[in-house]
Structure 1
Amino acid sequence: MESKVRVDGQEEILLKPLSTSSYFHIKRAMDFIISFLLLLLLSPVLFLFCILIPLDSTGSPFFYQQRLGLDGKPFQIIKLRSMGIDAEKNGPKWASQNDPRVTRIGAFIRKTRIDELPQLINVLKGDMSLIGPRPEREYFYKEFETFLPGFKNRLYVKPGITGWAQVNGGYDLTPKEKLHFDLYYIRHRSFTMELKIFLRTLTIVFTGNGAR
């Protein structure tokens, strides 16, 4: 049975029902295997930027922050730090394209999505999937729900390192645009769609193109 979700107080979107348990067991197995192999393969890249990031700006190369996962369960996300350590001295702020808080090295690792690599650990732990809506903080869920009813429905599935919204705009998207892309993914998710997102993500990583 499909679930109806009202978005922005106007449009109704049907969320695709959980098809079969085998889909999610296979997805979880693939997440674990691919994440493990990617961590082994890309460990030299992680090591390199663990050296470069502190040289570019003082502080740890890693960034930890609490985000909301499946069904609103909180977890600690791990990223390579792309901003200065005082980036939120004036309070939480939604990340944007050409964000002035981003460091020189940070601009490169955000463009190529290298900053997301440590989240492979989150995938191994089961907090995240390789593909799904990007996890956000509880602060933004509460803020966006006040003018964008339905934003919390992104929590219907496990968050991902990359997703339909990321390959269709990423940091350029408004919260409303992000929600529509994420709900589209939730409604149409399948192995075919996830393969498409994965391949488009690789294009962004290797060329820096693909995001709006």
Structure 2
Amino acid sequence: MNDVKTEYDYLKHIGEPIPKSKLVWKRFWDIIFGLIGMIISIPFIIIFGIIIKLTSKGPVFYKQERVGYMGKNFYVVKLRSMRNDAEAKTGAVWAQKDDPRVTPVGRFMRKTRIDELPQFWNVLKGDMSLVGPRPERPELTEKFFKQWPEFPQRLRIIPGITGYAQVNGGYDIAPDEKCRLDNYYIEHYSFGFDIKIALQTIKIMFTGDGAR
């Protein structure tokens, strides 16, 4: 019998979502701070948008399909931190330390998380939360599910701009470690846990400590 998992088979392995009753305050603060964050971010988006345009070829913004809450796909928006042709020959690949595809200004934006600022729009739309597992691309989600069957468990909660795996690892964290940290976050979810992660993220933005 062929036991090869077919595309999107991981949807059957997500598990029960976090009860909405536990997420009421999460959504309330997402709207409040998402709006504040969007307003504060506009000057930074404009400044770095100009720098991106002057230092590399390609668009300022990068739109990419990701897998969201309970397996529903959506498009995430970022400031472009890589060369415009970064995946022309390779397709979807996992980010790595000192990734040669990243531009000089992109390296700074990634270290300070500035490239993620446009995602406050995704938060206001409800596709994302301020805090939660970082959403992955459909191709990578399918690939990782075949290696780690527990990977889809991270879809039980709305994905976030920042998360427990990000403040404890960075862009180049290994997929299995990311899976472990994300599932730890879900199993121990609380509003207080979100606040702790948010404060750690703010520290990283100003110091670069823990970011790669």
Normalization by structure 2: what TM-score?
Answer: 0.89
Aligned to 1:109: 109
- The offset of 1:204, in angstroms, is 0.5
What secondary structure sits across from 2:164 in the alignment?
A: coil
- The offset of 1:53, in angstroms, is 0.5
Distance 2:139 2:85 in 1: 18
| Runs of 4+ off more than 4 Å | none
- The offset of 1:172, in angstroms, is 3.0
Distance 1:161 1:32 in 2: 13
Q: Which has the higher contact order (CA 8 A, sep 6+)?
A: 2
RMSD between aligned residues: 1.6
Identify unmatched segments of 5+ residues in structure 2. Answer: 1-14
Aligned to 2:7: none
Aligned residue identity for 1:119: Q
Aligned residue identity for 1:199: L
- The offset of 1:17, in angstroms, is 7.5
Aligned residue identity for 1:135: P
Distance 2:211 2:75 in 1: 26
- The offset of 1:16, in angstroms, is 9.5
Aligned residue identity for 1:85: N
Give 1:1-212 correspondences, 5 Å limit. 18=18, 21=21, 23-90=22-89, 91-211=91-211
Aligned to 2:3: none
Aligned pairs, how many?
197
Distance 1:49 1:197, change over 3 A: same
- The offset of 1:176, in angstroms, is 0.4
Identify unmatched segments of 5+ residues in structure 1. Answer: 1-14
Q: Please tell me whether the aligned partners of residues 16 and 187 of structure 1 are also in contact (alpha carbons under 8 angstroms).
A: no
Distance 1:97 1:154 in 2: 23
Normalization by structure 1: what TM-score?
Answer: 0.89
Distance 1:177 1:38, change over 3 A: same
Give the fraction of aligned pairs with identical amino acids, expressed as a percent: 52
